[in-house]
């Protein structure tokens, strides 16, 4: 019986996933989760596409495009440590994300319905998208095309606008003109239809069960910001670092040449750009020094979007303890300056929070990461 069960489990995973170190992939995904969700579910909006269940051929190609500079996202590159990942690490996280079959669970059916006409959009889709992305929107390996079913509508819309503006290449063809004559209304119609393609995959009553891989993996050693962990993946020499598994803390060192004053100015400017209000600032070390007490540098910056805070607290008042969102600037024992924040993409006993809350948490994480990146680089 046990042999049959083991065989069934093996058959359920793609061959590449069986040979990859999925526990390592799960560890690496902790950085990706800050923007894409702990299960790669993504979020509504332009910046958090769904990664879960995407085929390995497409995930691998996308990562390589970012590493080669063919696609540009400075925040993602810095927070993920992608530029310094080994090929083995990339294969592990790709296999892990590809193995996450969340599409049958209704709780993940959060692909935003676009304000278009899906009936009219179906005709457009079948004319221009079916050949590469398949009639059911599941993509085609021989074409190198990703699934569209289950992907977030706003992200699809932004991608096509980037194709139209030649900011990205569609089908790896700089001369591609597939969308050149599409109006925005036609795009909305087509995407409105595309966001319905995953509906038929949902199985009523089925619930996605997260893989429990970390339990069998070597636990990460507890460390200070200046220490280096012994487990894979190796901590990059720059970019984002994540501490403790159960309550993650994201931290980022100021780049050489970026002063604390430069970092603060960049963070505050970025917050204004993101429509986040600075609701509090505590220059702790400065206050202590005024009292004659020596202290490592420490300042705390508090940001808030009142509507996001309202949604979180309505879901569960305990989330008030995370509000407002804080970024600390702190000096470590070696004199290096770090920016640190809590990760809001939380899970409770492996049960998903309400989709709207997870969605909001991911968006807040993105905004806070953008502020941290601005501070760490001195650019905004």
pLDDT at residue 322, as a whole number: 81
Which whole number is the average pLDDT over 119-129?
96
As beta bridge partners, residue 252 has 240, 339
Q: Residue written as tokens 């989330």?
A: 319
Q: Residue 285: give the domain boundaries.
A: 247-377
Report pLDDT digits (tens) over 199-242. 989 998 899 988 877 544 444 443 334 333 334 444 445 566 76
Report pLDDT digits (tens) over 318-354. 888 888 999 999 999 999 999 999 877 554 344 556 7
Question: What is the band of 112 on the pLDDT scale with cuts at 50, 70, 90?
Answer: low
Contact 27, 233 (CB under 8 A): yes
The strands making up 298-304's β-sheet, listed across from edge to edge, are 240-242, 249-253, 337-342, 325-331, 298-304, 277-283
Question: Is the residue at 295 inside a domain?
Answer: yes
Question: Is the residue at 118 inside a domain?
Answer: no
Report pLDDT digits (tens) over 30-42. 888 888 988 999 9
Question: Is the residue at 364 inside a domain?
Answer: yes
Question: What is the band of 372 on the pLDDT scale with cuts at 50, 70, 90?
Answer: very high
The 3-state secondary structure of 219-259 reads CCCCCCCCCCCCCCCCCCCCCEEECCCCCCEEEEECCCCCC
Cα 167-184-51 angle, rounded to 5 deg: 55
Structural domains counted in the chain: 1
Cα 104-28-328 angle, rounded to 5 deg: 110
As beta bridge partners, residue 251 has 241, 340
Handedness of CA 312, 315, 318, 320 (dihedral sign): positive
Question: What is the band of 14 on the pLDDT scale with cuts at 50, 70, 90?
Answer: low
- Put residue 375 in one of left, alpha, beta given phi > 0 → left and psi -120 to 50 → alpha: alpha
Question: Is the residue at 94 inside a domain?
Answer: no
Question: Is the residue at 341 inside a domain?
Answer: yes
Ranges 71-80, 108-117, 298-307: which has the least confidence:
108-117
Q: Domain containing 264 — which CATH number?
A: 3.30.310.70
Is the peptide bond prior to 359 cis by the omega test (within 30 degrees of 0)? no
Question: Is the residue at 286 inside a domain?
Answer: yes
Contact 337, 330 (CB under 8 A): yes
How many other CB atoms sit within 10 Å of the CB of residue 2? 6
pLDDT at 5 over 50: no
Q: Which of 309, 276, 247, 315 is nearest to 38 (CA)?
A: 247
Of residues 295 and 235, more confidently modeled: 295
Question: Is the residue at 212 inside a domain?
Answer: no
Question: Is the residue at 199 inside a domain?
Answer: no
């Amino acid at each position: 019986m046990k042999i049959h069960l083991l065989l069934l489990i093996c058959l359920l995973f793609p061959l590449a996933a069986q040979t990859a170190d999925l526990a390592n992939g799960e560890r690496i995904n902790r950085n990706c989760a800050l923007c894409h969700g702990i299960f790669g579910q993504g979020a509504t909006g332009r910046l958090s596409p769904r990664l879960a269940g995407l085929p390995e051929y497409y995930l691998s190609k996308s990562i390589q495009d970012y590493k080669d500079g063919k696609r540009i996202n400075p925040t993602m590159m810095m927070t993920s440590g992608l530029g310094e990942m080994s090929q083995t690490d990339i294969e592990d996280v790709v296999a892990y994300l590809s193995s996450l079959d969340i599409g049958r669970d209704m709780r993940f059916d959060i692909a935003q319905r676009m304000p278009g006409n899906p009936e009219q959009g179906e005709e457009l889709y079948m004319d221009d998208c079916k050949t590469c992305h398949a009639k059911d929107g599941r993509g085609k390996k021989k074409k190198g095309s990703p699934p569209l079913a289950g992907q977030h509508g706003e992200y699809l819309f932004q991608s096509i606008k980037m194709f139209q503006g030649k900011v990205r290449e569609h089908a790896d063809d700089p001369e591609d003109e597939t969308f050149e004559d599409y109006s925005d209304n036609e795009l909305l119609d087509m995407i409105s239809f595309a966001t319905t393609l995953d509906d038929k995959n949902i199985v009523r009553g089925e619930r996605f069960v997260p893989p429990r891989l970390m339990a069998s993996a070597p636990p990460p050693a507890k460390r200070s910001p200046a220490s280096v962990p012994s487990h894979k993946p190796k901590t990059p020499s720059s970019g984002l670092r994540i501490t403790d598994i159960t309550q993650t803390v994201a931290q980022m060192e100021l780049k050489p040449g970026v002063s604390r004053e430069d970092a603060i100015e960049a963070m505050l400017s970025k917050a204004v750009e993101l429509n986040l209000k600075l609701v509090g600032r505590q220059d702790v070390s400065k206050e202590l020094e005024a009292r004659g007490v020596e202290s490592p540098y420490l300042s705390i910056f508090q940001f808030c979007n009142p509507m996001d805070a309202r949604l979180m607290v309505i879901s569960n008042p305990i989330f008030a303890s995370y509000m407002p969102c804080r970024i600390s600037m702190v000096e470590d024992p070696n004199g290096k300056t770090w920016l640190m924040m809590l990760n809001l993409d939380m899970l409770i006993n492996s049960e998903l929070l309400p989709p709207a809350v997870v969605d909001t948490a991911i968006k807040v994480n993105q905004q806070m990461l953008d502020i941290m990146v601005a501070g760490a680089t001195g650019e905004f």
